[in-house]
Structures are given as structure tokens and as C-alpha cells.
Structure 1
Amino acid sequence: MALDRGPLLLLTLGLGLAGAQKSPEDVPVQPGFDARKVEGRWLTVHLAASRAHLVSPADPLRLALHSICTRGRDVELVLFWTGEGVCKGLNITVHPTGLRGQYRGPLEGGGSLLLHFASTDYSHLILYVRLQDAGEATSLWALLARRQPGDPRWRRQYLEFISKFHLQEAPVFNLDAQCPPPE
């Protein structure tokens, strides 16, 4: 059923993230990264994906990162997705890979997620996500901020990353107060 795969597809597109894409090993990892300092509410300021053509402003389904929290050494992404008659919270837990600022975890329904905290001052965050599902990889970069609008210096750094990794800008969605918090 298409709705069952919706959260995975929406995560791929909503973080709302491959042909010319460099490998995940080329993605920088934040030196001295402390996951506890990225806990809390985040707003997506910019988003780019390797398959941005899959993101359509007319698409009735939307997914947005709400917040990040830690559970011991693990990181949990709190997401919301909405659609026609659907408003659901979704939590995705990823586990440390052994490299500081890099996490990996399985996705519901199969596939996996690789997460890099590429750069942060803990009020801005550049996040790299690579989703692997059924042999296809989708990469995305997100510039997140605690408040809108984000700092222009962070936007410049983010644009350097997406240029280097040959990605296309994608529409950004922040779903505030439209869904009940996930359990």
C-alpha cells in the first residue's frame, strides 16, 4: 500500500535527503560534535536533494523535522507528516557509527538512514542524510536553525556543500502545531 511507504518517501523528500552525488565518506563530520547540544526544536531553512524532482509543491503529503533528542548515545529525529486526512508523528532512532557526528539506523518497512551532522554552532545545523531503500540511494542536505530566518553565513556554507555534491534545492516545509506530538 502506498500509504505504508509514505513516511519513508516523505522523509527522503521532506528533510524534507544520486547520480552525480559524491560518496558519504566525502561528507565532513563536525569536529568535537556533542549530540546533546543539538537537542530541541529545529526549523528547516533550506533543503536540497539528489532527486529533487520527486518533491512537488503540489504533493498532498508533507513531512517536516520537528526536533532532535538523544537517548543515551542514540539520536532520535522527531518528524511530522501530513496528508489528506493524515497527521502523524514519526520518530526515527539512529545509532552511532563510531565516527563522531555520524549515525545509522534502520527505517520502518526496510531500508536504512545514514545521518551526518556536517557543521553546527548549535543554533544552526547543516545535516546530511542518505536514505537507502530497495537499492536506490537518495541524499539530501538540510540547513536547520533554531529561529527563522537563518544566519546568512550558514546559508553560504550550506550552498557550498550542495554545489560540491551536485544537489538541487527543494521546497521547505515546517509543520508547526498541525499535529499532536509523537509519543
Structure 2
Amino acid sequence: MYSNKFKKTSNQKTLLIIVGVVLALLVLLIVLEKTKVINLYSKKQPTSTEAKTTSTAPTAQADFSDGDERLIADTSRNEGIIKDTGGNLTDIPAESQWQKSSDGKITVYTPGKDSVVKNGDTLSGSSSLSQVSFRLIDDVTGVIAQGTLSVVNGNFSGSFDFSTTGTNGRLDIFNSSPDGIESSNTEIPVRFK
């Protein structure tokens, strides 16, 4: 008799738990329907398409306009180059001015960090790779020169030839694998005269 009573009490508790869970889900669905988070009763789309946010930051969307007609920018420009001079190094600055890649495969001697770069200046360094890739970027146009330099007897060098109206930029020297993945990145902030 004790065993039957225990089973009956256990079954009642299980039934109460199931009923409680079903009621909680029902209440949750009703609350979500009333707050228009979900739509259970009709197949129509919600009437409000405004995004809900909890952010208190101001938004520009309320003041957005299409603006005036814009002129098409002239994108025909000659991209600059760095003429490969075959690893011919003339002046190597002090080691404290060198920029090295994190894996040590590329060391850039010139230009130095935050130096002024102009036509005729030299990009030089050493590398354990067979060639290095470069990208010269300004703060107006973006990429103004890119290409590769050969590494000859462990050294690379080239002469800048580009035009820019920018004042600041960056020179990236890196290894580019055949599948386009860049590694051994060295980024040098530069200025333009």
C-alpha cells in the first residue's frame, strides 16, 4: 500500500510540473504576442518595420536625406611604382631605425618610421624570401603604388615614383603567397612632402 501511495504522489508531482511548464510557455507566448514580438494569430507581417534598440546614442537616420546630385569622381589616375634596383644598397641606417616583421623574414632599412617619402627616395631592406611585395597608401586616394621587388643576395631595393596630394600614409612590405595570403607584414607610417 505504501508503494501505491508513493507512486500516486510521484505521478501527481510529475503532472503538476508538466502543467506548470505548459502554463509558463502559454503565458510567455501571450506576452510575446501582446508586445508584438511574435505574431501567432495571423499570417500578416508585423505592421511596424522600425528597428528596436536599447541604445541611447543619437542616430543620423532621422535627419537622413539623399542629398544633392553628385558629380562622378575622376578615377583615371596613374598608379605609382617603386622601380626595382636589384637589392643595391647604398646607405644602411642604424639598426635602431629598422622596421622588422614579427617573424623576422623582412627587415626594412629605409624609409624609417614617420619619415617624409618623395619621388626618388629609396625603399631598401633585407629578406630571407625570394621577393617582397609592397603597397604605398596615402590618406586621400588610398593605394597609390603597389608591386613586388626582387630579393638579390638577401637584399631588396627600389626607387619611389608616385604622385599624391596626401600628407600622411603608410608603406606596407609583406610576403604574398600565390593564393593571395599576406604574411611577414611590416607597416611603416610615412609622410608625404
TM-score w.r.t. length of structure 2: 0.25
**Greater relative CO (CA pairs within 8 A, separation 6+):** 1
Which structure shows the bigger proportion of residues in strand conformation? 1
